[in-house]
Amino acid sequence: MQPAEKYLFTYRGFYFQSAFTSVEYLDSLENFEIRDSDVFIVTYPKSGTIWTQNILSLIYHEGHRDGTEKVDLVDRAPWLEYNVRNVDYVSRPSPRLFASHLPYYLVPKGLRNRRAKVGNSTFII
């Protein structure tokens, strides 16, 4: 086994960290139910994703840091492909905010089939 194989696996041509996700979980994203109020931050790595997550979560909390400063970013705007806290995303209250580095062909079918607003290499529904 190559050292990288202990930490990474390939899923449909894209590399993932094996400690944080699985093939079964990624398969389940295909049919992830999208709500009209969901917001997805889908970006290339190292393109300001964390800043965007913070800005949008502040907007959601009407600019009050009191609503966000004690809540980890991964809980305010979790990564769709890495459910590190094993949260039931379906039960999250609307509006739900998600971040992702998934390529277009791996995002949930519902996101691909809806008309998304696109800005600065970010899909926002």
Task: Specify the pLDDT at position 63.
Answer: 67
Which one of 101, 106, 122, 123 is the catalytic residue?
A: 101
pTM of the full predicted structure?
A: 0.82
Q: Total domain count for the chain? A: 1
Task: Specify the pLDDT at position 104.
Answer: 92
Domain that holds residue 73: 3-124
61 catalytic per annotation = no
Q: What is the CATH number of the domain that holds 49?
A: 3.40.50.300
Would you give per-residue pLDDT tens digits along the chain (125 residues)? Answer: 456 678 999 999 999 999 999 999 999 999 999 998 899 999 999 999 999 998 888 888 776 666 677 788 898 899 999 999 999 999 999 889 999 999 999 999 998 887 655 554 444 54
CA distance linking residue 108 with residue 113, whole number of Å: 9
Task: Specify the pLDDT at position 15.
Answer: 94
Task: Specify the pLDDT at position 52.
Answer: 92
CA distance linking residue 105 with residue 112, whole number of Å: 8
CA distance linking residue 114 with residue 25, whole number of Å: 22
Rg (CA), the chain: 15
